[in-house]
A = this chain, B = another copy of it.
Amino acid sequence: MMRTRPLKVALLGCGVVGSEVARIMTTHADDLAQRIGAPVELAGVAVRRPSKVREGIPADLVTTDATALVKRGDIDVVVEVIGGIEPARTLITTAFEHGASVVSANKALLAQDGAALHAAAEEHGRDLYYEAAVAGAIPLIRPLRESLAGDKVNRVLGIVNGTTNFILDKMDSTGAGYQEALDEATALGYAEADPTADVEGFDAAAKAAILAGIAFHTRVRLDDVYREGMTEVTAADFRSAKEMGCTIKLLAICERAADGGSVTARVHPAMIPLSHPLASVRGAYNAVFVESDAAGQLMFYGPGAGGSPTASAVLGDLVAVCRNRLNGATGPGESAYAALPVSPMGEVVTRYHISLDVADKPGVLAQVATVFAEHGVSIDTVRQQGKDGEASLVVVTHRASDASLSGTVEALRKLDTVRGVASIMRVEGE
C-alpha cells in the first residue's frame, strides 16, 4: 500500500554530505518511495551561500533562512547536515517544536547535547536519528541500539577517524614521520587545512561519547572522555611496535569495568597486535570492534566519512524515520536508564609500553624495576639497548591502572639515571 501524499523533507546544509543526500533523494526517489510506503519530497534546502550553483537542486527550493524552513509546519523530517553547535542545535529543537522528526550527522552536537536533544524529541513525540554521526556509512548505532538490545556490551574498541588512520597507516607502511604523513594526507584531501579536530582526537572523542552512551545505556558527555591526540607518535614508536608484533592505531575505547559498576571512555594512540582485526584496517577506513556477553566479538568495517557513504547512513535513517511517521510511532529514543558512573582515566586498567633513555651503567635496571614494583606495576618484559654511554630501556608492563602507571613515570623521571621518558604507549586489544 503506497500513500500518495508525499512526506516533506527539509535539508539543512547542502555541502559534502547534504549535496549527496539531495542527489540520492532525487535519483533513488522511486526506491525510497517503495521502501518507505510513501514518496518523499525535498521541500527546501537551507544553505549559507544562496548564489552557489547546486547541481540538481531547483533554485526555488534554496533558502538562507533555515529557521523559517523548519518552522513552516508542514515538514515531516528535518535532515541537519550543517554541522557545529549553533545554529544546528536551535534548528533541531525548533524542528521538534514544529512537529518534525530529525536526522542528523552532527557528532559534535550529539556528543555535547545529546541528552537535551533526545529530551526535546521525546517531549514532542518525534524521532532523533544520527547513524551518520559515528563512522560514516558503517551501521553501528542501529546495531548497538537495536541488534544488541538483548545483550550486554562490555567493550567498544574502534578506529573512528579516517584522517588519523590514514596518517598512521602511512607512517606504518613507509616509515615516515608524523609531519610527512600529515602533509601527504592533506595533499590527498584526507586531512583538512586545520587538522586539529582529527589529529588531537576531538572528533574521535565525540564519537566515543556517543558510542559509550548507547552501548552502556548511560549518559556519557564529551567531557567524560579522556583524550590524547596522535601528533606525538613517532617513527621510532612504530619501530618499537613492530618489534612487539604490533602496529599503532588511534583508538576510541569504551569499557565497562570488570565489576560492571562503572564505565570509561577514552581516545588515544595505542599499540595493537598485528593479529587483531583492527590492525589491518588500512587508509581512511574505519572499523569498530564490539564485545558483548552473549554475542562475543563483532566487528563492523567500512568507509568512515565522505559525502556519499555518509549520505547512505543519513538516508537509512530518513527511511526509518519516515516509516515511523507513517506508523504513527517513534523508534527507540535515548536509553540512559543504567546511569552508570563514568570513571576517570586513572581507573582505566591496561598494559603499557615505555621507552626510557637511561645512563649506560650497572644497576640502572634494578633501580627502574624497583620504581615499578613500588607503584604496584608488574613488568612483563624489559629490553636493554646500549651504545656509547647512552642506553635505552624498553619496558612492557602487565595490566595496571593508569594512575599507578602515571605515578611510576613521575618517579622514574626523578631518577638520576633516567635521562628521559622517550615514549609511553598503551597496549590494547590482546
Contact = CB atoms under 8 A, between A and B. Distances in A.
Interface of A: 20, 24, 28, 31-32, 34-35, 131, 137-139, 142-143, 146-152, 217, 277, 280, 292-303, 306, 308-309, 311-320, 323-324, 327-330, 332, 335, 337-338
Contacts of A311: 150, 294
Contact of A316 (B35, B148, B296): B148
A157 to B, nearest CB: 13
16 contacts: A20-B294, A24-B151, A31-B152, A34-B335, A35-B149, A137-B296, A137-B298, A139-B147, A142-B147, A149-B315, A150-B315, A151-B312, A295-B302, A296-B302, A298-B300, A328-B328
Given A32-B150, A137-B295, 14 more contacts: A31-B217, A35-B332, A138-B298, A146-B319, A147-B316, A150-B312, A150-B314, A150-B316, A150-B318, A151-B312, A294-B308, A299-B300, A323-B332, A324-B329
B298 A299 contact: no
Contact of A280 (B146, B280, B328, B330): B280
The listed residue with most B CB atoms (<10 A of its CB), out of A20, A34, A150, A303, is A150
Contact of A319 (B131, B139, B149, B306): B149
Contacts of A303: 295-297
Contacts of A137: 294-296, 298
A294 B305 CA distance: 11
Given A149-B320, A150-B28, A313-B295, A35 B335 contact: yes
A299 B297 contact: no
